[in-house]
Amino acid sequence: MNTTSCQSISFDFGGKFLPPVYILVFIIGLGANGWGLRSMQRNWTKLGNVNIFVLNLGLADILYLLTLPFLMVYHFMKSNWIFGDAFCKVTRFFFNMNLYGSIGFLTCISVYRYLSIVYPMRMKGRITVTHSVAISVMVWLLVSVQCVPDMFFVKTKYKNNTATCYETTTMDHVEEYLKYSLGRTITGFCIPFLIILGCYGHVIVVLCRTNTIEKVLKQRSLKLLFILILLFSVCYIPYHVLKNLNLWSRVLAKLNKCSEWSNKVYISHQLSRGLVCLNSALNPLVYLHVNEDIITQLRQFFQRARQAVTRLSFASSQAHVV
């Protein structure tokens, strides 16, 4: 560790990497979530207990996706925020609500799947849609309590007629933000992650030991486990680890104790920011798991698309013959 300033950090990397990711996530995420929510609306009377959580998961994604165009403009203007201090905080707040709301509702889905497999007879008929709605409200309240303090940190900094919209906060308050970030990581990520690991660890044991569980239920449980592993390994774990490491490197930089890994941590954190955004495009995979109607619709869509391509190819070949 040395006492030099962090001149070597590539601060422009995020501006080059994030906009294409935002565009991709916005298009795929909005289309997939919109399709999923529309399908669930058509089948509202068929909604089960788990589908209530999936519905809230989709709403959390839509909430964040609607802020992405403003972040695209921000990066296209070379990191110049033109929408004001308040809206900078709002966009970061919606990101955090989506992130920790998604983790919260995925945890609820995992617990419900755990109860339905491990204690099927004991839990049958005891958990109603009303219970699911009440739990969803509690999740939103808990996530809000975790995310509201973030609104009180300074998010914008003005220099040479350019406004920077910070994901975390300015250097003046970075020490306090690191403490807050570590606390939110424990309550909003680590504890739910441990709950999910515990649930699916027990589920795997039960599935291996019991032969009375339906094959379809086993397959659906394993598919959901795969989706959760994908989400946490790609989106959530790298982001939380690298975000806190980046905050720690900023604390060291403020003390003029920049280390050689500061630039690597910064670039890795920007990569993790792009990956964590993918959760809004990957969460619709949960729709496919719990809503069989969507799978049927997808099959019909691809079947119609294949038939249309076949007809076009046939018509084109006939035209060449003529």
pLDDT at 167 (0 to 100) = 92
Secondary structure E strands in the chain? 156-159, 162-165
pLDDT, tens digit (0-9, with 9 covering 90-100), for 167-212: 999 998 999 999 999 999 999 999 999 999 998 888 888 877 777 6
Is residue 174 within 8 Å of 168, Cβ to Cβ?
yes
Is residue 22 within 8 Å of 72, Cβ to Cβ?
yes
Residue 322's CB is within 10 A of a number of other CB atoms, namely 4
Domains of the chain: 13-297 (1.20.1070.10)
Query: Residue 7 has which token pair?
Result: 């001149």
Of 63, 73, 68, 56, the residue nearest 94 (C-alpha): 63
Residues of the chain with pLDDT under 50: 1-5
pLDDT at 277 (0 to 100) = 92
Instruction: Give the Cα separation of 102 and 60 in Å (integer).
Output: 7
Alpha helices, DSSP H only, in 119-157?
A: 120-123, 129-147
Of 222, 219, 215, 216, the residue nearest 200 (C-alpha): 222
Of 166, 24, 193, the residue nearest 100 (C-alpha): 193
CA 57 to chain centre: 9
Is residue 280 within 8 Å of 29, Cβ to Cβ?
yes
- Classified as helix, coil or strand, 163 is strand
pLDDT at 47 (0 to 100) = 55
pLDDT, tens digit (0-9, with 9 covering 90-100), for 243-272: 999 999 999 888 887 677 888 898 999 999
pLDDT at 3 (0 to 100) = 42
pLDDT at 4 (0 to 100) = 46
pLDDT at 35 (0 to 100) = 81
